[in-house]
Amino acid sequence: MLKIIMGLKGTGKTGHLIELVNKAVNEESGNVVCIEKGTRLRYDIPHAVRLIDATEFDFDSYDFLKGFISGLRSSNYDITHIFFDSILRMIGATYDAQAESFFAWVDKFSTETGVNFTLMVSADVSLASAEVSKYF
C-alpha cells in the first residue's frame, strides 16, 4: 500500500505523519522505518521506530532512493512500513513527471514485497494527476 500526504508548507503534513507513525508502531507487528532530512522528528516518534537521517547519505536522485529502499528491504524482511518525511526536499527535486514515475515504482514495490509506504510531498495538491490522487 502507498499513501501520499501532499500539500504546501504549513498545512499540517508533519503532524499527520507523526500520527500515522505512532499508529503503525501500535498496530503493525513488524519493524517501522522513518526517513527524514535532519532530526526534527527525533522526539516526536517512538523510539521503536528506526529513524534514518537522510543527510548521512547522498540522497540525490530517485534512482538512489530506489536502491536505498531495496537495500533496506533486503537487509530486513521484517519491515512493515517505511515513512518518508518531505521526500522531494530530501533529494532536492520539484514535483514533476519523474516524481509521479517514482510513486508508481514505490506502489509496485509495495505490492510485490508487502511493505507499506507513506510519502510526505511538499507540493500543491492541484499538481497531482488522477493517477497519483488515488494514493491520497
CATH of the domain at 67: 3.40.50.300
pLDDT at 72: 97
pLDDT at 102: 98
pLDDT at 90: 94
- Where in the sequence is the domain holding 53, given as residue range(s)? 2-133
Contact of 30 with 80, CB cutoff 8 Å = yes
pLDDT at 120: 97
Separation between Cα atoms, residue 106 and residue 102, nearest integer Å: 6
pLDDT at 71: 98
Separation between Cα atoms, residue 12 and residue 59, nearest integer Å: 24
Phi, psi torsion values for 135, nearest 5 degrees:
-90, 0
- Strand 79-84, strand 2-7: pairing: unpaired
Contact of 66 with 99, CB cutoff 8 Å = no
Handedness of CA 59, 100, 49, 43 (dihedral sign): positive
Q: Give how many domains the chain has, as a whole number.
A: 1
In one-letter notation, the amino acid at residue 39 is: T
* Block mean pLDDT (10 aa), the chain, length 136: 96 95 96 95 95 94 97 97 96 96 98 98 96 96
pLDDT at 45: 95
